[in-house]
Structure 1
Amino acid sequence: MTSPKLTDWTQQKERTSGFWLKLIRGLALLFPRWLVKPLLHPIILFYMPISGKQKAASRHYLNQVLGRPAGFWDTYKHFLWFATTILDRVYFLTNRIEPFEVEYTNLEAWQASMKKNPAQLYFGAHFGSLDAIRALSSDLYDIKIKVVLKVDQNETIVKLLNELNPEMETMVIPYNGLQTIFDIHDTIESEQSVAILKDRPVGQEATVKVRFFDDEMLIPIAGFKLAKRFDIPVTVFFGRFEGGNRYHVYSDALTFEPGASLQEMAQAYMDEVARQCCQSPYNWFNFYHYWLDDEDASK
């Protein structure tokens, strides 16, 4: 099952100008974070008036997670936290993690699990910072995690950031339809872990309907099929930005009832995403029409 509106994010153009990205990247390489971060405010004020669809998606989500009508400053904060995580990618990719305060949940269990089973499936979301997880986890333990990424959707950002740390490019599995499944299989067979952001479908891939707050939405089922096929541990992971210079790296085993259906597995994952959103609402970075309208939800 697919939905034209749900897959609309793949047609959505990058809102981040190459000029602004190069400027922020250059300043971040030269100056400390506290000096560069204030520049995000004029950039956001520039983009908000021309980002109607993104603002509408932000308000739709925030209305539900906050339990009240979202105002201008709620949407502004949502955009600001997203922009901050992009800025922080420069520091994470250049291993300049000293400015950050990091809290971990289930760290010891995570390390023990990775030591016992170096090949795992990690299910994340477009939530917080994936680079925070990779940079901070590799500092604690020699963890090799390859990430499945639709590179061409964020080509400008990916290209500029890969220039900061060319090694990171080797840790990406580009989304390429069926070939991606073979690449994931080879990665797991080589005893490396694979991270998949499970909250967005790509193209015409198979999906399943799940509940997310007051909405129904579609998410891809390929990762859950892989979990069944390989019979390897599945971990949910989130790098929550918590304001200032604080990040919270959370990981936990995602367990399923014996014989669970793909829909039940998908709902268990989405329930955990919703729980994370309740704890830190401004980290959900899906600025597109991700929810099913009534006529689609009834199908």
Structure 2
Amino acid sequence: MSRWDGKTRGSLTGYKIFLYFIRTFGLGAAYGLLKIVTFYYYLFAARPRAALKSFYSQALQITGREAQQLIRRNFYVFGQTLVDRAAFLLGKENEFRIRFENEQYLINIREEGKGGILLSAHLGNWETAGNLLRGRITASINVVMLDAEVESIKKFMDVSTGGSRFRIIAIKDDLSHVIAIRNALINNELIAIHADRYMEGARFLEVDFLGNKAKLPMGPFVIASKFDAPVTFVFAAKDGSRSYHLSATQPVYGRMKPQEMALLYVAELEKKVRDYPEQWFNYFNFFSE
């Protein structure tokens, strides 16, 4: 079964169509079109379907008809998060209800003046979370990521919607991203990092995750352990058609070993997967072979 290759998926034509529907007919019409698109995807996207089937069976012991229904739901909710992303950037955030659990933790981090590191995962709508945090919690938020989005799509989204409200710190072989992270923390900015996708050939930590062995990328946990900044685990799960539940855990202070930090992270991620299994958006073989 395939592993993650560091690339995002999607076509420029698809983005154009959904932006048109959102602008012209509204969010409800875009969701309606999405049902057709994701059903087609469910029928013909064999690899993502197989990856989810394996994950639900191994991690949550969900099989058979229940698993198939959950996979269909997963594809649809994932599509909704992409539509919501565009809607937020088009200024339609007032159409959504946002519930923020433990928002005060992030406010406290801001007030302490050392910046903060937010570890998250590809569960829920991380990009919408980043757009919400900027302005609500901080004037500046940075997302550390492989900047692998198709360039034509990225340019179109930037021109059509004004682009994301957060800054991207691209991971590079020359480790310049580490310097950028350091400078951002010195400026009391937030650093968001996804800690759930390991790329073949990179350094990793092997952990027990939902009763199975899984590899997590070492980089995010090394960064979290090296800088003198509080660390919290942040997630943004879709908990209704037009509502989101943002949550933050109590910050970790003091430097920890990467493996120790990873175990805390995994414990929180397990809770989120059990609460929102339809929002697990890793479409590759997640567990160690």
- TM-score, normalization by structure 2: 0.89
CA distance in 2, matches of 1:205, 1:116: 34
Shift of residue 106 of structure 1? 0.4
Q: Given that residues 225 and 255 in structure 2 are in contact (C-alpha distance below 8 angstroms), is that contact kept between their aligned partners in structure 1? A: no
Aligned partner of 2:279 in structure 1 is: 283
Deviates further, 108-117 or 20-29: 108-117
CA distance in 1, matches of 2:261, 2:166: 30
**Aligned with 1:216: secondary structure?**
strand
Shift of residue 73 of structure 1? 1.7
- Determine which of 136, 142, 145 is the counterpart of 2:141: 145
Shift of residue 97 of structure 1? 0.8
**Aligned with 2:201: secondary structure?**
coil
Aligned partner of 1:134 in structure 2 is: 130
The alignment status of 1:36 with 2:33, answered yes or no, reads no
CA distance in 1, matches of 2:135, 2:213: 38
- Determine which of 155, 177, 183 is the counterpart of 1:186: 183
**Structure 1 residues 214 and 206: alpha-carbon distance in aligned structure 2, compared to 1, 3 A threshold:** same
Listed as ranges, the matches of 1:149-160 within 5 Å are 149-155=145-151, 157-160=153-156
Shift of residue 266 of structure 1? 1.0
Aligned partner of 1:87 in structure 2 is: 83
CA distance in 2, matches of 1:254, 1:274: 18
Listed as ranges, the matches of 1:1-299 within 5 Å are 8-10=3-5, 14=9, 16-64=10-58, 66-69=60-63, 70-117=66-113, 119-155=115-151, 157-166=153-162, 168=164, 171-177=167-173, 178-202=175-199, 204-255=201-252, 260-293=256-289
CA distance in 1, matches of 2:222, 2:55: 28
> Is there any run of 5+ residues in structure 1 with no aligned partner, and where?
294-299
User: Matched residue pairs, number?
Assistant: 286
**Aligned with 1:270: secondary structure?**
helix
Q: Aligned partner of 2:120: which letter?
A: G
Shift of residue 240 of structure 1? 0.3
Deviates further, 183-192 or 262-271: 183-192
Shift of residue 66 of structure 1? 4.3
**Aligned with 1:205: secondary structure?**
coil
Q: Given that residues 105 and 250 in structure 2 are in contact (C-alpha distance below 8 angstroms), is that contact kept between their aligned partners in structure 1? A: no
Q: Aligned partner of 2:215: which letter?
A: L
Aligned partner of 1:297 in structure 2 is: none
Q: Given that residues 149 and 174 in structure 1 are in contact (C-alpha distance below 8 angstroms), is that contact kept between their aligned partners in structure 2? A: yes
Shift of residue 13 of structure 1? 6.8
* Percent identity of paired positions between Structure 1 and Structure 2: 21
> Is there any run of 5+ residues in structure 2 with no aligned partner, and where?
none
**Structure 1 residues 203 and 161: alpha-carbon distance in aligned structure 2, compared to 1, 3 A threshold:** farther
Q: CA RMSD in A?
A: 2.4
CA distance in 2, matches of 1:39, 1:118: 45
Q: Aligned partner of 2:225: which letter?
A: K
- TM-score, normalization by structure 1: 0.86
After superposition, give the CA deviation of every residue in 1:246-269 in whole Å (9 maximum; x if it has no partner): 11011113537x774322221211
Q: Given that residues 123 and 235 in structure 2 are in contact (C-alpha distance below 8 angstroms), is that contact kept between their aligned partners in structure 1? A: yes
**Structure 1 residues 229 and 221: alpha-carbon distance in aligned structure 2, compared to 1, 3 A threshold:** same
